[in-house]
Structure 1
Amino acid sequence: MIEQLSWKVGGQQGEGIDSTGEIFAIALNRMGYYLYGYRHFSSRIKGGHTNNKIRVSTKEVRAVSDDLDMLIAFDQETIDVNGHELHSDGIIIADAKFKPVKPEDCKATLVIVPFTAIATELGTSLMKNMVAIGATSAALGIDTETYKAVVDEIFGRKGDKVVNSNMEAIQRGAEAFQEATGANPQTLSLKKADGKNRMFMIGNDAIALGAIAGGARLMAAYPITPASEIMEYLIKKLPDFGGTVIQTEDEIAAATMAIGSNYAGVRTLTASAGPGLSLMMESIGLSGITETPLVIVDTQRGGPSTGLPTKQEQSDLLAMIYGTHGEIPKIVIAPSTVEEAFYDAIEAFNLAEEYQCPVILLSDLQLSLGKQTVEPLDYEKIQIRRGKLSVQDIAEREDKSYFKRFEVTEDGVSTRVIPGTKNGIFHVTGVEHDETGKPSEVPQNRKDQMEKRLRKVSGLSFNTPVYKNEKHKEPDVLLVGFNSTRGSIEEVIPRLEGDGYKVNHAQIRLVHPFPTDELKSMLDAAKKVVIVEHNATGQLASLVKMNAGYADKIESLLKYDGNPFLPGDIHQQCKELLTHGNI
């Protein structure tokens, strides 16, 4: 019996690879297993190799596994590309249609099952993915009836005949595996799960759900990988809450529309990836100077330009902080788990309205599209804070002057009103202005308004700006990351401690304003600091050095080939860095 299983299905894009993994994963999630799934896919609609790797465990997991126990292959390329991940006790279950051949250096067992032939006998070759699920079930000792509820949900609207055909395909797949393996089948039996109900979702779904819970009622956006799922989720759900989604002509329109609706008092968001954020930069500056709340989600992907649209990277970090021209207050937060993505989406709207500035929720492709088990969310934690928003009529001034929307205040935040508020009229432009919004180039006014805006975030309050795992007072190494690297880093810690090193961990969740005070004591205590990030230039390391110092201690562990960090990657490279550093 094993406590966790690494399972992968692969084939050509467009032939049901995603649905195979989805049905398998949903069924096991409902049995109470913890799951983590990551899809490798091409930036095209159909064709090109794709795979979906799913980790199943009796304990919580937040990272892609190093190796592979079972590979479901719909073509030879799947075996050729992924076979090296299989260990000697692993299993390849391959479709007989393409006459599968196992590479010479692959020690795993090859089991050939006629996925396509069985599906065709049942009426359509499209059901070959269900046959594959049946074969998987037999290899794991899972009753095929486990899938009945999932199949009913997915195909029930098409009628009983379709449901029954799919269930028969699953049963036939299980029988075919048993027939192919004979009296002594190669199996991988999972320990029984706890049977508890948990959510199973991608980070983008958590962000979208958080936006609804946080009071957002409008999304203006243009589709782009890997942010589109936020838009798709809200298209289905926002109307139930009196909201809507508008697909704009481009990202410039999306950002300015979001600014306009926030100005009108409606909590609004937009979401994009690197190329879209480049187009939004001028609008982000407009939000800053007009002190209008704006929430933007940036789901980082491989760049520059079109780059690697469907691959992992974390190279937007400095652009999100410093990309706008001029100087404005800005908040950038970076959740590191799906649960944090939900709560941080809510908090983004609160911060945007409290500090009246743009707030960027920074994600990455692995966090946005990686699907994982999530413990039930605590809706009692939800707070809606609208800051200095006045919903009352404004007292008329004796001199009949305009409302001081941009009044210079000690905390840098002025009272905000919704258009139409009695006696609340003021100017709004993208040029420098006085307290009523009237354009002004008076030097002292410029100085006052700049300092007013910039001091807003000096006293920023954000829950858990740095996630800390401080087991040791004087660690040999401090591992630092942001966004999705948390899962792999957490798995590496016990491995490094098994090698004799004392290890602490910091995951930075508020990247701007930088949480220098919260991080400094951890940096000071460590003999060596290893910063783990998905880019070629060490952007997070640069931020740490710029804000906290300790450049002599810092080493960068970088990956920028489009693939996520495996725990083994970090373990091996950390050992090399620590060995060379004489620790």
Structure 2
Amino acid sequence: MKTQLSWKVGGQQGEGIESTGEIFSMALNRLGYYLYGYRHFSSRIKGGHTNNKIRVSTEKIRSITDDLDILVAFDQETIDVNASELHEQGYILADSKFTPTKSDDVKATLFAIPFSEIAKELGNPLMKNMVAIGATASLLQLDIESFRAVVQDIFGRKGEYVVNQNMEAIEKGVASLQAQLPFSHTSMKLAKADGNTRMFMIGNDAIALGFLAGGCRFMAAYPITPASEIMEYLIKKLPEFGGTVIQTEDEIAAATMAIGANYGGVRTITASAGPGLSLMMESIGLAGMTETPLVIVDTQRGGPSTGLPTKQEQSDLVAMIYGTHGEIPKVVIAPSTVEEAFHDAVEALNVADEYQCPVILLSDLQLSLGKQTVDPLDYRTITIRRGKIDNKRQVEEQDSKENIKRYQVTPDGISPRVFPGTKNGIFHVTGVEHNEYGKPSESASNRKEQMDKRLRKLIHLPDTFPTPIYMNQTCDEADLLLIGFNSTRGALEEVQHQLQQDGYSVNHAQIRLIHPFPTTHLLPLLKTAKKVMVVEHNATGQLASIIKMNAGFHEKIESITSYDGTPFLPRALYHACKELL
């Protein structure tokens, strides 16, 4: 029996590839398996090759695999593009409508199955995906009743006839493959899962859920891949908690509207991708100068300009830290798992309120759109911290005829904050330099005093942030230290394990607080490592440069970069690290 396998379905975008993967995954998730899925799709609504690769395991996993056990092909292009991933004992389940063929160097077994023909006989050509699921279930020796509850959930609103029709399609898929399978075929039967109930979600859903749990009650945003799911989730859920979402005319309006709502005291967020963040930069500077909380999600994708809207990349890192003109306090947080995405969304709201500054929650396409099994989230750990909100004591001490010192110079750089509408709580707000009362001032001494005040806010954040660096330290002195951020964690964890099996001592660090950089937390690992490998999805080694800038050790640090739009795979990373060692 197999403890894990990799399954992929491919075809033309718009012909049900996503729903095929969704139904397959949901059924196995409910059986208690761990899953990790990554979807390759085109940046158009219909047409163009797309595929969905899903890894199934009896143990927790956080990345896709290099190789492939089963390929479900709805067209010849799927075989041409993906068959090279199949190992010799793998299988291709292809629609017989296009007379499928494979090259001589592909040793996997090919079965031509009449997916489309069976679907037409049942009265709905779209049901070919259910026939394909039946064939897969047959190969894996899964009880097709495992799929009934999923089919009921998806199609139940259309009536029992549609549910039964889809189940019949699955049954016919089972029968069609069984008629072709030889007695000697290699077993693909999965070992039994633990049967525990877990969530199955994308990172964007976890981020949105985190914002909801953290007290966000308003979102202003403009749709953009791969961030739109955050808005779509909150459109459905926020009204249930007295909140709302507004789709703005562009990203500039979204950022300024979010600033206005935060100024009014409502926890507000916006979300976008690289092109949208470029438009928001001036507004981010405004939030920094006016010391207004602002939480923005940047789901990184291939750039620059329109770039590769539906492909993986991590090239916004430097822009998120230094993109605004002038100098302001700014926080950049980078979760590396779906669970961290949930908790870091809550923390982003807290940090923005406490430090009264912009906070960017940095994700990437693989983390935001990759769907995976998630253990139950611990809501007991959630705390809501609003910071120095002083709507009573401060204003009572003021003369009602004077503005309050909204930008009062304080030892920690954080001034008491008063919501508009508070009695005697009037203060001036402007994007130009200002004095403690908020009134414009070009005084040299005031400029230095206010600038120093703002910039000393974040001095102690790396020491108070819950987990600035995720560390898997297995030894005091390492042959190799692996470093990454965002979605590279899963692949790096597997590489670390493989290298340790080879006899190497390996540590792993995943940077979660990118800015201000947690130098003192990383230094012990850097000092005791013989070599350091920084792994990231960009062409210029942005994270490696930031580490060198803040911590040094230029002579130890090497980079593995990828910018072709595809995720890192564990085996390729393993061989790159072996070469370095």
> Given residue 545 of structure 1, which amino acid in structure 2 is its aligned partner?
K
Match among 512, 515, 523 for residue 512 of structure 1 = 515
Q: Distance in 2 between matches of 1:397 and 1:288?
A: 26
Partners of 1:270 and 1:295 within 8 A in 2:
yes
TM-score by length of 1: 0.98
Give the Cα separation in 2 of the matches to 1:344 and 1:494. Answer: 26
The amino acid across from 1:479 in the alignment is L
* Cα contact 1:113–1:180 (8 A) shared by 2: no
Q: After TM superposition, give the deviation of residue 569 of structure 1 in Å.
A: 1.4
Aligned pairs for 1:444-463 (under 5 A) are 444-460=445-461, 461-463=464-466
The 8 Å contact of residues 273 and 298 in structure 1, kept in 2 or not, is answered as yes
Give the secondary-structure state (helix, strand or coil) at the position aligned to 2:458.
helix
Query: Where does 1:43-62 land on structure 2 (aligned, <5 Å)?
Result: 43-62=43-62
Structure 1 residue 353 corresponds to structure 2 residue 353: yes
- Corresponding residue for 2:188? 188
Q: Distance in 2 between matches of 1:183 and 1:204?
A: 44
The equivalent position to 1:466 in structure 2, one of 460, 464, 469, is 469
**By how many angstroms is 1:111 displaced?**
1.1
Cα 1:116–1:399 change in 2 (3 A) is closer
Offset of residue 391 of structure 1? 3.5
1:475-500 CA-to-partner distances (Å, cap 9, x unmatched) read: 11100000000000000012112333
Q: Which residue of 1 aligns with 2:553?
A: 550
- The answer on whether the counterparts of 1:295 and 1:360 sit within 8 Å (CA) in structure 2 is yes
Tell me the CA shift for residue 469 of structure 1: 1.1
One of 526, 541, 544 as aligned partner of 2:544: 541
Distance 1:257 1:552 in 2: 46
> Which residue number in structure 2 is paired with residue 581 of structure 1?
none
Task: Verify the 8 A CA contact 2:400 2:424 in the aligned structure 1.
Answer: no
Q: Does 1:401 align with 2:406?
A: no
Once the two structures are superposed, the pairs formed by residues 203-242 of structure 1 within 5 Å of their partners are 203-242=203-242
Matching residue's letter, 1:525:
T
Q: State whether residues 478 and 506 of structure 1, in contact with CA within 8 Å, keep that contact through their aligned partners in structure 2.
A: yes
- Alpha-carbon distance in 1 for matches of 2:531, 2:294: 38
Q: Distance in 1 between matches of 2:253 and 2:336?
A: 29
Q: Which residue of 2 aligns with 1:295?
A: 295
Cα deviation, 1:368-400, whole Å, max 9, x if unaligned, reads: 000110000000001000000124372153483
Establish whether residue 370 from structure 1 lines up as the match of residue 370 from structure 2: yes
Deviation at 1:186, TM superposition (A): 4.8
- In the alignment, what sits opposite 1:424? 425
Give the distance between the partners of 1:216 and 1:57, measured in 2 at CA.
35
- Whether contact under 8 Å (1:112, 1:180) holds in the other structure is no
In the alignment, is the contact (CA less than 8 A) between 1:178 and 1:185 conserved in 2? no
DSSP 3-state at the match of 1:146: helix
Please tell me whether the aligned partners of residues 139 and 186 of structure 1 are also in contact (alpha carbons under 8 angstroms).
Answer: no
Alpha-carbon separation, structure 2, partners of 1:207 and 1:221 = 15
Residue aligning to 1:414: 415
1:331–1:359: 8 Å Cα contact kept in structure 2?
yes
Which ranges of structure 2 fall in alignment gaps of 5 or more residues?
none
User: What residue number does 2:490 align with?
Assistant: 487
The within-5 A match list for 1:166-315 is 166-315=166-315
Unpaired stretches in structure 1, ≥5 consecutive residues = 579-583
Question: Is the CA contact (8 Å cut-off) linking 1:91 and 1:186 kept in structure 2?
Answer: no
Deviations along 1:202-233, one digit per CA (max 9) or x if unpaired, are 00000000000000011100000000010111
- State, as a whole percentage, how many aligned pairs show the same letter: 72
Runs of 4+ in 1 over 6 A off after TM superposition: none
Shift of 1:187: 3.7
Deviation at 1:447, TM superposition (A): 0.6
Give 1:189 deviation, angstroms. 0.4
Secondary structure of the equivalent of 2:111? strand
Check conservation: 1:396, 1:423, Cα contact below 8 A. no
Q: Secondary structure at the match of 1:501?
A: coil
Give the Å deviation of 1:184.
4.5
In structure 1, distance between residues paired with 2:404 and 2:51: 58
Residues 113-142 of structure 1: CA deviation (Å, up to 9, x unaligned): 100000000001110000000000000000
Normalised by the length of structure 2, the TM-score is 0.98
Mapped partners of 1:555, 1:183: distance in 2: 51
SS at structure 2 position matched to 1:360? strand
3-state SS of 1:54 partner: strand
Aligned mates of 1:141, 1:398 — CA distance in 2? 79
Amino acid aligned to 1:529: V
CA separation in 2, counterparts of 1:501 and 1:471?
Answer: 11
- Counterpart amino acid of residue 428 in structure 1: V
SS at match of 1:305: coil
Aligned to 2:442: 441
Corresponding position of 2:125? 125
